[in-house]
Amino acid sequence: MPAVTVENPLVLPRVETPDPAVTSARPVLGVVTAPEGFEGEGFPVRRAFAKINTKYLDPFIMMDQMGEVEYAAGEPKGTPWHPHRGFETVTYMIDGEFVHQDSTGGGGHLSGGDTQWMTAGSGILHIETPPEHLVMSGGLFHGIQLWVNLPASDKMIQPKYQDIHGGEVKLLTTADGGAVLRVIAGELGGHQGPGTTFTPITLVHATVSPGARITLPWRPDFNALVYVLNGEGTIGEENRPIHQGQSAVFGDGDSIALQASAMQESRSPNMDVIILGGEPIKEPVAHYGPFVMNSHRELQQAIEDFNAGKFGVIPPTQN
């Protein structure tokens, strides 16, 4: 892991370490452990934000780490057809493959390093499954799915997609080359990622070498969260311990810091983290299953519209 990287990070553009004399380090408000479960047809997930107070998540709704799991032949699983309305789903594949199909006739193929940014908007039906050849052979499967809320003014827009291929992700490093930073969306240290969003956010996948410390500039009007995909280390200037399957929530400030432990497990030679934050929407949230609206009446309308077939129809054939 992961599919998109470089052998020598020092060839990449660098994000300069913020000057502590003129910046304020964000304190760590808490570290929580994600509960484990199953999604779709039975693939394992960690619910990264399940134990975090929602006031620290806005504009994010939830994030699942899918896998990391090594499937035997015949075991790979996906999700059945299901609806969404009122938010965006972000599927980032680190290892493995997924095929997407939807009720608008859209779809695509995701492999290691690819991201699909689906704006559900007014409503859509979709399915995500491993391709047939992967079901036959088995193999490694690992990724995340993030739900990003939409402001009330955009909840009923037409559904749309952004397919971000791994080669389009902005690759950066730290001042000493101790980490590879993959900016999927938003801006980091003056460098822009390829993903565009209705709500301003930054989404980064960082691979931190053993013993390396990174301190990144972070917009003071954004919230800030870190989730550990694998490995272990410390978080914040307080050097609070953190390990695989844990999330950290930061308080106010304009820089965030973390460090990878000098010794890592042999199967996870580096510390991999998702770093994300966004500008809070500050609107009421009514969340029920696959619908994220602003009121219970809007949720009821979403259910009625889904039952009335207004989200489209499932195509007669599937990939």
Percentage of residues in the chain with pLDDT exceeding 90?
Answer: 70
Q: Which of 7-11, 99-103, 117-121, 224-228 has the lowest mean pLDDT?
A: 99-103
Q: Does residue 234 register a pLDDT over 90? A: yes
Nearest to 147 by CA among 42, 39, 220: 39
Neighbouring residues of 53: CB distance < 8 A, sequence distance ≥ 6: none
- What is the C-alpha to C-alpha distance for residues 11 and 32, in angstroms, rounded to an integer? 35
Say what the pLDDT of residue 232 is: 97
The confidence band for 283, taking pLDDT boundaries of 50, 70 and 90, is: very high
Q: Does residue 317 register a pLDDT over 80? A: no
What tens digit of pLDDT does each residue of 77-109 get? 778 899 999 999 999 999 988 888 888 877 788
Higher pLDDT, 74 or 153: 153
Say what the pLDDT of residue 41 is: 66
Structure tokens at 292: 């994220």
Q: Does residue 318 register a pLDDT over 50? A: no
Please report the DSSP string for 255-268 in residue order: EEEEEE-SS--TT-
Say what the pLDDT of residue 24 is: 96
Q: Does residue 239 register a pLDDT over 60? A: yes
Please state the three-class secondary structure of the chain as a single string: CCCCCCCCHHHCCEECCCCCCCCCECCEEEEEECCEEEECCCEEEEECCCCCCHHHCCCEEEEEEEEEEEECCCCCCCEEEEEEECEEEEEEEEECCEEEEECCCCEEEECCCCEEEEECCCCEEEEEECCHHHHHHCEEEEEEEEEEECCHHHCCCCCEEEEECHHHCEEEEECCCCEEEEEEECEECCEECCECCCCCEEEEEEEECCCCEEEEECCCCCCCEEEEEECEEEECCCCEEEECCEEEEECCCCEEEEEECCCCCCCCCCEEEEEEEECCCCCCCEEECCEEECCHHHHHHHHHHHHCCCCCCCCCCCC
Percentage of residues in the chain with pLDDT exceeding 70?
Answer: 97
State the average pLDDT for the chain: 92
What tens digit of pLDDT does each residue of 144-186 get? 999 999 999 999 999 988 889 999 999 999 999 999 999 999 9
Please, are residues 160 and 117 in contact by the beta-carbon 8 Å criterion? no
Q: Which residue in the block uniquely carries the two structure tokens 């209705």?
A: 198
Mean of pLDDT values over 40-58? 89
Mean of pLDDT values over 48-68? 95
What tens digit of pLDDT does each residue of 128-141 get? 888 888 888 888 88
The reported pTM is 0.94
Q: Does residue 66 register a pLDDT over 80? A: yes
- What is the C-alpha to C-alpha distance for residues 144 and 116, in angstroms, rounded to an integer? 11
